[in-house]
């Protein structure tokens, strides 16, 4: 493995409106979801996963996908991402006229793929490639995420060779990037660095994106390891909310404000305004009526602005 080097900047993707909220039992109004999107934009987010087009009976929190899309601010400088599992969902997303980028998902193991989207792992790769092709036909872009890249809730360890092969296959269809998702938060920094580097070698020059959950407290360490290994796109959810309805024990995403604090303090630009992110996290805590997992929003401001 080559010596880690750190970039001067990464691209940040806010996934709170979708992945942050999808597993919440209390239904959040479309109006509050749209406020969350607006706050994310105000804090600097230029790529936002706004909703998912999935079966509303299985994921009730996302039943208002079309209503959320209808209320999205008109912004030429913001890419709105809609997560889709199949062509039917992709067609719904495209029909709104407001989704700029489709987020296709495939799964590294058969048992989780069946639980998550009712198909085998190989079938999920084929479905993701079909979604990427459909987006291109409609003048849109698409990204591809490999769920359970670092471990499966049903099958346990996932072979790195399997993930690398999936990434190479997805890259053939021309997504804007391939994402490695630690769906259940079992990754460790050594594994993350190794897999990111291997996938980079397999799909270059396409970027590697990373999506971490903090289930076991390793989320930020994994972000750092991934960026050092060459990942250039990082997901986060305001407040550290999140979880997967189909992955037992999955806890929240890495908190956006925690990721941005760590990277910016290390001299890696994110394009985000930490002060406004903290304000947004406080607003979201009030909406959820509870303390959120993110740490930076609970801590004193550092460094404090110089007194005038």
pLDDT at res. 303: 87
Check whether 308 has a pLDDT greater than 60.
no
- Identify the active-site residue in 69, 106, 152, 244: 244
pLDDT band at 2 (very low <50, low <70, confident <90, very high): very low
The answer to whether residue 244 is catalytic is: yes
pLDDT band at 32 (very low <50, low <70, confident <90, very high): very high
DSSP states along the chain = -PPP---SB-EEEE-IIIIITTT-SSPPPHHHHHHHHHHHHHTT-SEEEEEEE--TTT-GGGTTHHHHHHT----TT-EEEEEESSHHHHHHHHHTS---EEEEEEESSHHHHHHHHSS-HHHHHHHHHHHHHHHHHTT-EEEEEEETSS-BTTTB---HHHHHHHHHHHHTT--S-EEEEETTS---HHHHHHHHHHHHHHHTTSPEEEEEB-TTS-HHHHHHHHHHTT--EEEEBGGG----TTSTT--PBPBHHHHHHHHHHTT-B-S--HHHHHHHHHHHHHHHTS--S-SGGGSPPSSPPPP-
pLDDT band at 116 (very low <50, low <70, confident <90, very high): confident
Q: What is the value of pTM for the model shown? A: 0.95
Dump pLDDT digits (tens) for 282-296: 999 999 999 999 999
pLDDT band at 103 (very low <50, low <70, confident <90, very high): very high
């Amino acid at each position: 493995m080559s010596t880690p080097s750190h970039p001067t900047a990464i691209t940040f993707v806010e996934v709170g409106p979708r992945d942050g909220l999808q597993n919440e039992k209390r239904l959040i109004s479309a109006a509050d979801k749209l406020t969350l999107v607006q706050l994310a934009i105000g804090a600097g987010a230029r790529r936002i996963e706004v909703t998912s087009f999935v079966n509303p009976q299985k994921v009730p929190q996302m039943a208002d996908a079309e209503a959320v899309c209808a209320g999205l601010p008109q912004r030429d400088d913001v890419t709105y991402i809609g997560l889709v599992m199949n062509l039917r969902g992709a067609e719904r997303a495209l029909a709104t006229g407001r989704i700029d980028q489709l987020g296709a998902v495939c799964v590294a193991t058969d048992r989780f793929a069946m639980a998550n989207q009712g198909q085998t792992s190989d079938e999920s790769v084929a479905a993701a490639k079909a979604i990427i092709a459909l987006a291109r036909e409609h003048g849109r872009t698409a990204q591809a995420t490999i769920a359970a890249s670092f471990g499966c809730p049903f099958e346990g360890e996932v072979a790195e060779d399997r993930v690398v092969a999936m990434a190479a296959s997805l890259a053939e269809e021309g997504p804007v990037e391939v994402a490695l998702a630690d769906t259940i938060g079992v990754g460790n920094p050594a594994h993350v660095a190794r897999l990111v580097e291997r996938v980079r070698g397999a799909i270059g020059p396409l970027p590697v994106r990373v999506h971490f959950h903090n289930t076991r407290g390793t989320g930020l360490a994994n972000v750092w390891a991934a960026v050092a290994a060459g990942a250039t796109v990082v997901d986060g959810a305001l407040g550290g909310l999140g979880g997967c309805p189909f992955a037992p024990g999955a806890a929240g995403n890495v908190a956006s404000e925690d990721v941005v604090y760590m990277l910016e303090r290390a001299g890696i630009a994110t394009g985000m305004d930490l002060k406004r992110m903290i304000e947004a996290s406080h607003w979201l805590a009030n909406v959820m009526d509870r303390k959120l997992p993110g740490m930076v929003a609970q801590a004193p401001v550092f460094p404090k602005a110089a007194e005038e």
